[in-house]
A = this chain, B = another copy of it.
Amino acid sequence: MTTSGTTTAPRRTISFGNRQQLQQLLAFGGLVVIFVFFSVASPYFLDWANVKGILLATAVTGIMALGATLVIATGGIDLSVGTGMTLCSVMTGVFLANLGLPLVVGVLGGLAIGALIGLLNGLNVAYLRLPPFIATLAMMMVAQGLSLVISGTKPIYFSDVAGFGQLAGGELLPGLPNAVLIFFVAAVLAGVTLSKTLTGRYALSIGSNEEATAISGVDVRRWKVVIYVVAGLFTGLAGVVMASRLNSAQPGLGLGYELEAIAAVVIGGTSLRGGKATILGTVIGALIMATLTNGLRIMSIPQEWQKVAVGIVIVLAVYADMLRRGKEA
């Protein structure tokens, strides 16, 4: 081959891994700034009780956002995470409270419903080739309706299901509510899925260039279904955690959570175009949202101004993050 080909070879010393870590550190930096600001602004903010409150407030939306990250990595979108979560809550209620199945079975059942929702989304997107927005919008409505139908529009209470409330409310690690622990474990699983398994790799490839991925011999349709199913499992998990925290399944809840989850994903640096995704970013994005809300409340900012403040801070945080990344890249 031509001799001079690689003479200009590797001059860049920072490895790719480090660069990415650096980026996430910066998004994390945004979170830290917000944290520091509120700590100074309010003496109550840094209390462990309050931090725990923030973490708890992050947990459910955060878990949903993990699944949504996978779907968004493919360039898709999942509008069904909110009401889908509710349907999983309700079905968990049916399994445990109404049918009296054993705890483990009920919880796995809730997850399975999540997977089923994902399966239907996946089939609609991959085989019927519906735009993900349409497929999951339809699922959002169907799940909302079914939650109400199945529950008879009444909450299902878990008061008689021994141990269910402990699932999210207990503290396996003293001081840390299980809901938060579950969130962190789920985040690690999602992170590994995204960066180390075929599911995650193909999600990113599809998001990057679906046609090229297909021509490269990847069974894009099958993998899309797999990706949506995995995302559905997170929806199911969110549903179970939600139900456990409220010790009841609330069929009317759920609408609007999808936007929050997607916002967390995007604030975290995952691109809605697909191909680029980071789970750590999503976790940080979810924390930023929850911290902002909490901090403004702690400061007793009137509700209507809170919205304005959150909006502006989101713009600033994302813009600052982009600036830094732009400089660094």
In whole angstroms, what is the CA distance A250 to B182 when docked?
41
A304 interface neighbour in B124, B128, B149, B318, Cβ under 8 Å: B149
List residues of chain B with CB within 8 A of the CB of A130: 315, 318-319, 322
In whole angstroms, what is the CA distance A1 to B255 when docked?
45
| Copies per complex of this chain | 2
Size bracket, chain A contacts? 35 or more
Known: A255-B256, A271-B131. Contact between A308 and B139, CB under 8 A? no
**Contact residues, A123-142 vs B (CB, 8 A):** 124, 128-131, 133-135, 137-142
Known: A134-B318, A135-B315, A314-B134. Contact between A144 and B307, CB under 8 A? yes
A262 interface neighbour in B133, B266, B322, Cβ under 8 Å: B133
A303 interface residue per 8 A CB criterion? yes
Q: Determine whether the beta carbon of A134 is less than 8 Å from that of B266.
A: yes
A310 interface residue per 8 A CB criterion? yes
Interface hub of A142, A272, A307, A312 (most chain B Cβ within 10 A): A307
Smallest CB–CB gap between A169 and chain B, Å? 29
In whole angstroms, what is the CA distance A9 to B133 when docked?
38
